[in-house]
Structure 1
Amino acid sequence: MADTPLAWWRRQGLRFRLTAAAAAVLALALALSASVLLSVLDRALIDTVDASTRQQAQSVRVAADAGTLSSPITTHDGTIVQVLDRSGRITHVTYGTDRLVPLLDAAARARVLRDGRAAFLDGRPYAIPGPLRVVVLSADHGQTVLAARPIGEIQTSLGVAGRVLLVGTPALVVLLAVASWLMIGRTLRPISSLRRVAADITHTARSRRLPVPQSRDEVHALATTLNGMLARLEEAEQRQRALVSDAAHELRSPLASIRLQLEVALGHPEGQDWTETAEGVLEDALRLSRLAEDLLALARLDERGGVPARDEPVNLDEVVRQVTERYGEARLTACDPVVVRGDALDLSRVLTNLMDNAVRHTSSKVEVALTADGVLTVTDDGPGIPEQDRERVFNRFTRLDSGRSRDEGGAGLGLAIVRETVRAHGGTVVLADAAPGLRAVVRLPVSR
């Protein structure tokens, strides 16, 4: 099946299409301009001839009205003049003009007089080469003045101009096409360079960047944007590798513990307390389960790209009460009615992670408060976190030394899940000093 012209056009390169489009537009513009130029030039020259002829006819009419016409009539610009009496007989003419046959018959004279404009006339029947422009004026005593000027030279000049434009217009189009081809090629050269370098960048050379041209144009903006994209991809890959490495490290400890306990139990079955072994294996299995759940939660957050799983009204005060009731050490100091938009399960997980951290590190009490402006705080009276580490603990698999020393400590994913979830809901989370202890402050936009 033959391709359509549109399909063929789309397969052509950008350089060819831009050059062809520019040449086509120029050709159309030049053709239209040439047509308008010739038309305006023709009209202007004819109007000039008409004005000059009418002026000569007016002079002859004045002389005819005064009875001072000489024979032959003298003109200085080659105008042909005939003066007719009431009966249509020619009484006065310019030198060499026909004295027997008027240039226009009675009907034609009447029509030109009525229209008030000059008329075209073929001069060949009157032994005059080329066409004429004829003006008719009415004089006293029934006389009529006919004045005519040949316009063959005008038509010759217009023909020469038309031929010049006919030759020059294609030449200009070709010249512009060549110039456009060269200029567009030079303009697209940085893009070709970007393409070649991009083709050389592989998964083993993510640190390479595309060349940025010096000109501050769209290509410069494109190169800058692509380099930013490459930087983000490299950063994402590094985070992914770090996540895999940290996850493997965290998985290795409970798996090694399970393996060791089982090997010892199987090696000395007669002196083994199987209940104690089962409890140890169960504890490590629970650690693996929590780690898998946290990794799955982070993977879902990354997959959604910072968007909540649901976008529906959530009574945040109800979520806070339900979660706080599960912790005997916690006390709800304030719980104003607050409605936010998002996912209730994700918000419940945020508070659960904050409560787990607070209960794990508190000395005696944990206080939870929710105010009407959407600010949720969880405060404990434990050792707190040094100010220089309060931002770092939100990174994945980050645990401080105090947290690492606790057997019940997590894998360092809880606060990372909190921050990603809060950001997905359009909020912020920070850690502040509670003197003594630590205060986690979550701010969420309130649904109005």
Structure 2
Amino acid sequence: MTGTPRLPSVHPRVARLSIRARLMLIGLAGVAGALLIGGVSLYAVLTTSLGRSVEGTARASAEQVALLVDAGRVPDPVPVSGSQVVQVLDAQGRVVAGSVTADRMTSLVTPDELRRALAGEQVVVAGNRSGLSGRLQVVVVPAGAAVPSGRQYAVVAAAPTGDIEQSARTLRTLLLWIFPLLLAVLAAIAWRVIGAALAPVEALRRGAERIDESSSETDRLPVPPTRDEVSALATTLNAMLDRITVARRKQRAFVADAAHELRSPLASMRTQLEVAQRLGEGGDLPTELLADVDRLSTLVDDLLILARAGDAAATRRSSEVDVTALLADVAGRYGSARVPVGTAPGLAGRRLLPRAVPDDLTRAVTNLVDNAVRHARTRVVLDATSVGHQVEVTVTDDGHGISAADRERVFDRFTRLDEARDRDSGGSGLGLPITRALLLRSGGDVHLEDASPGVRAVVRLPANP
């Protein structure tokens, strides 16, 4: 047993985003993560490398001085390069010798720092201990083992870390500024690239939006020239439209054939009932049956018109129609209607010439007037005006009205509203669907509006250029 396939659940906030936005966010999240990992790794490697370089320079200086101490030659001051600080301490931690930049009285490191440095730990001290700014990377090398006196010394060498810290700050600043800017540039590029990739999908959507009941059977979705998933989707959808078209054609043919075949027996039944009525046979039965036969004949005629209206092969050429004269003629036919049917004041002075199929437009307006007369309380008013590049024809009644939720549903076939669309009111549920089908064939459309009280049917037709 097959059922509706279940799609993966998506967070409501994510579901509100377009596919383009989702793809861009996913891509940017991946790029941002990669940049973050790369930036942190670069920062760690660079700072570690620079730190080892400074430590190596200080250790080299300390080892050179330790060789001098081992040789029994301790120059004073101790020669150093740059702003390094070098002190030679005895076993009691007193300064024996030092560089020009070093304090001759106080050791640069505390006994605990000296012990940790000798153990190989990284020791950083404040530069103000030696009258310098910033911080100092300290390296301690033991010396004096080769001295005849056997005295033990410790060579303390310190190198400033200001350059390392400045480089680290510069790198952090660059990363904090460059990464967002790079992400913004990548977001703009990704938005354009994803938009271009999804352009065939948007073309499919627009094409599908244009296909409706008024579309020709040859109207199909555009197939991209590529051989990707979008092209396969377009081909599949067009094949589905072909199947739907065949099914619709068969349905119309069946309705048209059935309606056509029913007309002959209904005509025969009408003739026999009329003969029986005139001869006085059957009592009141012929009169009662004639009403049902008339209703069936009207229904068959409506079905036949609806089937032909939806047939693209039966589409007729439109021409210029004088709407003012048409509305006046239609209103004149309803002189004996249950409510007055008239035209709006000033309509006679307007010259409105839309393009439409004349017979279709006349039938559509007549259907709307029939519907309005059936439900109006006191009057029905016909009017027409020019709106932009369209001509708008209105049929307004002051009846009970139609709720907003039902104003589109009444254009579905055989739709009957509980309040007004019952069998005894004379409506078959096909008048409004036929009206819309005929107007679509003429390039127009119809919808209902609230007239407070009542309903206004609004017909829009293309104006004659």
TM-score, length basis structure 1: 0.51
- Other-structure match for 1:123: 127
Of 108, 114, 118, the residue aligned with 1:113 is 118
Q: Is the 8 A contact 1:23 1:174 kept in 2?
A: no
> Matches of 1:92 and 1:218 in 2, distance apart?
80
| Aligned: 1:30 with 2:35 | yes
Deviation at 1:235, TM superposition (A): 3.5
Q: Is the 8 A contact 1:118 1:136 kept in 2?
A: no
- Other-structure match for 2:227: 216
Deviation >6 Å, runs of 4+: 242-253
- Other-structure match for 1:96: 101
Q: Is the 8 A contact 1:207 1:234 kept in 2?
A: no
Secondary structure of 1:170's partner? helix
- Other-structure match for 2:55: 50
Deviation at 1:180, TM superposition (A): 1.8
Q: Which amino acid aligns with 1:118?
A: Q
Deviation at 1:175, TM superposition (A): 1.2
Q: Which amino acid aligns with 1:122?
A: A
Q: Is the 8 A contact 1:54 1:135 kept in 2?
A: yes
Q: Deviations over 1:198-240 (max 9, x none)?
A: 1111245343221111233322222122122222323344455
> Matches of 1:126 and 1:76 in 2, distance apart?
16
Q: Is the 8 A contact 1:212 1:224 kept in 2?
A: yes
Gaps of 5+ in 1: 267-448
Q: Deviations over 1:2-49 (max 9, x none)?
A: xxx953442233333333443344334333432332222111110111
Q: Is the 8 A contact 2:113 2:123 kept in 1?
A: no
| Aligned: 1:85 with 2:90 | yes
Q: Is the 8 A contact 2:142 2:154 kept in 1?
A: yes
Q: Deviations over 1:250-273 (max 9, x none)?
A: 9999x99xx9xx9xxx9xxxxxxx
Q: Which amino acid aligns with 1:65?
A: D
> Matches of 1:119 and 1:241 in 2, distance apart?
93
Deviation at 1:101, TM superposition (A): 0.9
> Matches of 2:252 and 2:118 in 1, distance apart?
98
| Aligned: 1:230 with 2:241 | yes
- Other-structure match for 1:300: none
> Matches of 1:45 and 1:232 in 2, distance apart?
72
Deviation at 1:103, TM superposition (A): 1.1
- Other-structure match for 2:183: 173
The correspondence of residues 286-305 of structure 1 with structure 2, limited to 5 A, is: none
Q: Deviations over 1:299-347 (max 9, x none)?
A: xxxxxxxxxxxxxxxxxxxxxxxxxxxxxxxxxxxxxxxxxxxxxxxxx
> Matches of 1:22 and 1:176 in 2, distance apart?
9
- Other-structure match for 1:17: 22
Secondary structure of 1:132's partner? strand
Of 123, 143, 153, the residue aligned with 2:163 is 153
- Other-structure match for 1:185: 195
| Aligned: 1:197 with 2:202 | no
Secondary structure of 1:149's partner? strand
Q: Is the 8 A contact 1:131 1:152 kept in 2?
A: yes
| Aligned: 1:142 with 2:146 | no
RMSD: 3.2
| Structure number having the greater helix percentage | 1
| Aligned: 1:75 with 2:84 | no
> Matches of 2:248 and 2:165 in 1, distance apart?
77
Deviation at 1:144, TM superposition (A): 0.6
Q: Which amino acid aligns with 1:50?
A: E
Q: Is the 8 A contact 2:101 2:130 kept in 1?
A: no
Q: Which amino acid aligns with 1:224?
A: T
Identical counterparts, % of pairs: 38
Q: Is the 8 A contact 1:38 1:158 kept in 2?
A: yes
Structure 1 residues 56 and 189 mapped into 2: Cα distance closer, same or farther (>3 Å)? same
Q: Which amino acid aligns with 1:134?
A: V
Q: Which amino acid aligns with 1:31?
A: L
Secondary structure of 2:92's partner? coil
Q: Is the 8 A contact 1:19 1:181 kept in 2?
A: yes
Secondary structure of 2:79's partner? coil
- Other-structure match for 1:164: 174
Secondary structure of 1:133's partner? strand
> Matches of 1:155 and 1:7 in 2, distance apart?
46
> Matches of 1:23 and 1:103 in 2, distance apart?
51
| Aligned: 1:41 with 2:38 | no
Deviation at 1:68, TM superposition (A): 2.4
Secondary structure of 2:97's partner? strand
Secondary structure of 1:99's partner? coil
Q: Which amino acid aligns with 2:141?
A: L
Q: Which amino acid aligns with 2:115?
A: A
